Structure 1
Amino acid sequence: MEIKENILELKNEIKKYSPNPENVILLPTTKYVDASGVLEVVHAGCVVVGENRVQALEDKKKALENLGIEDIRWHFIGNLQKNKVKYIAPYIEMIHSVNKISLASEIDKRAKQNNRRIKVLLEVNISSEESKEGYSIERLHEELPDLLKLENIEICGLMTMAPLTKEEKVIRKVFSDLKELKNELNKTHFNGGLIELSMGMTNDYKIALSEGATILRVGSKIFK
């Protein structure tokens, strides 16, 4: 019951803090729970679920299918190794962590083999932290022409992670800078096709919502 209550609280906060709550996807991230935990969020009304390890995703998907649950829309949110793409390419709805052309090319290749077009987000290291994955803005601009040639991926937005700090001003700037980059790229390269901003986790999702987040990756707030 507590998971259902936590999800309801988050949905109410989406309505409170987001300028466009109807466009926001609450993405329960199930890194620290097993298939039964995923089942609970599905029963609470969340059919889009995020996982950050390929093997865990495969295991949970199989366990849930054995229970007759086959309509979950899986998002991959972790650092993705090229040699693991083939395992999730047949079914993954969206990959949040495309941060180099070599990975994007592999996703494109595997999507084509499965007669699919896979949605992806470009991961941007807006805060330029050495410990974080993601494109620098400069390298993103360098690789964009090649990314746009890939026909079996659909680049539909950007993703970032804010620094672990209690300074709201710092966090807000990261999220607002990602939104600005999205707006800029929509004018120069995407003709309005970038619609998703995957930003905001348990510790900063309210700020992310107010800055226009459309996908919230929330784990511990749900499963606490």
Structure 2
Amino acid sequence: MLVDNLEKINQEIQLACQKAARSDNDVTMIAVTKSVEKDTAKKLAELGIENMAENRVDKLLEKKMALEDFPSIKWHLIGNLQRRKVKSIINEIDYFHALDSFKLAEEIQKRSVKQISCFVEVNITGEESKHGLKSEEVIDFIHQLASFDKIKIIGLMTMAPLDASEQVLRDVFSKLKKLQSAINNLHLSYAPCTDLSMGMSNDFPIAIEEGATFVRIGTAIFRGA
């Protein structure tokens, strides 16, 4: 079932890229393994999946240890990160998708021994239930990070509202794309901001059509498995 699900997802990614006149090589699918156990994550690794994500520090560390025989896996932390947990996780990941405060950036700078590829989390819709900076705060925030050599702002991340209409989804994703392009045009060496982490199992084709370069997919991979 995993093989069938992955094939279907890859077909949907290719179709969305065709619609947007993009190459499917521009889109990275991240397998979000938070709902499955280590054995299932290992099956994904055996199938060649090389990008995996967790939203909790303890679960990522647990899965990474279980999959130590797969050193090519890139690990993504996609959930909110408390400053007190930075020390235990920051040097174990390749990508962090939820940078949303200067104090958190300071802690990452202090604890990291390598440069971390980070996405600034943006709350496009302003929903109180969501983390992230307001759109109008993002550029000033990125300017504040100029001296942090352990942080590289490779892009922006957002989460669209659940069960939103296609038009609402396109509006959210296109707004993030415009903001990403504006930051990219600043030509900041520490913040190239070339990427967009947006789109999940229920909306990733639309996100790709609107410019996503990383899609975070969990449910669609493990459905029926």
1:95 is paired with a residue of what secondary structure? strand
Greater mean alpha carbon deviation, residues 184-193 or residues 150-159: 184-193
Distance 2:172 2:137 in 1: 18
Q: Quick check: 1:49 aligned with 2:52?
A: yes
Given that residues 95 and 117 in structure 2 are in contact (C-alpha distance below 8 angstroms), is that contact kept between their aligned partners in structure 1?
yes
Deviation at 1:189, TM superposition (A): 5.1
Q: Quick check: 1:79 aligned with 2:80?
A: yes
Given that residues 16 and 205 in structure 2 are in contact (C-alpha distance below 8 angstroms), is that contact kept between their aligned partners in structure 1?
yes
List runs of 5+ in structure 1 lacking aligned partners: none
Greater mean alpha carbon deviation, residues 194-203 or residues 39-48: 39-48
Distance 1:3 1:87 in 2: 31
Given that residues 39 and 64 in structure 1 are in contact (C-alpha distance below 8 angstroms), is that contact kept between their aligned partners in structure 2?
yes
Distance 1:200 1:120 in 2: 17
Q: Quick check: 1:104 aligned with 2:105?
A: yes
Q: Match of 2:80, as an amino acid?
A: N
Given that residues 117 and 152 in structure 2 are in contact (C-alpha distance below 8 angstroms), is that contact kept between their aligned partners in structure 1?
yes
1:45 is paired with a residue of what secondary structure? coil
Distance 1:209 1:90 in 2: 29
**Amino-acid identity (%):** 40
Q: Match of 1:161, as an amino acid?
A: M
1:50 is paired with a residue of what secondary structure? strand
2:144 is paired with a residue of what secondary structure? helix
Given that residues 202 and 221 in structure 1 are in contact (C-alpha distance below 8 angstroms), is that contact kept between their aligned partners in structure 2?
yes
* 1:139 alignment partner, one of 137, 140, 153: 137
Distance 2:109 2:33 in 1: 26
Q: TM-score, normalised by structure 2?
A: 0.92
2:185 is paired with a residue of what secondary structure? helix
Deviation at 1:76, TM superposition (A): 0.4
Given that residues 156 and 194 in structure 1 are in contact (C-alpha distance below 8 angstroms), is that contact kept between their aligned partners in structure 2?
yes
Residue 167 of structure 2 corresponds to 169
Deviation at 1:91, TM superposition (A): 2.5
Distance 1:175 1:69 in 2: 33
Q: Match of 1:97, as an amino acid?
A: A
Residues 74-127 of structure 1: CA distance to partner in whole angstroms, max 9, x if unpaired?
00001111111111222310000001111111112112xx2x111100000011
Residues 159-192 of structure 1: CA distance to partner in whole angstroms, max 9, x if unpaired?
0000113411011100000000011111235378
Distance 2:44 2:37 in 1: 11
Given that residues 27 and 217 in structure 1 are in contact (C-alpha distance below 8 angstroms), is that contact kept between their aligned partners in structure 2?
yes
How big is the alpha-carbon RMSD for the aligned residues of Structure 1 and Structure 2?
1.5
2:96 is paired with a residue of what secondary structure? strand
2:154 is paired with a residue of what secondary structure? strand
List runs of 5+ in structure 2 lacking aligned partners: none
Residue 60 of structure 1 corresponds to 63
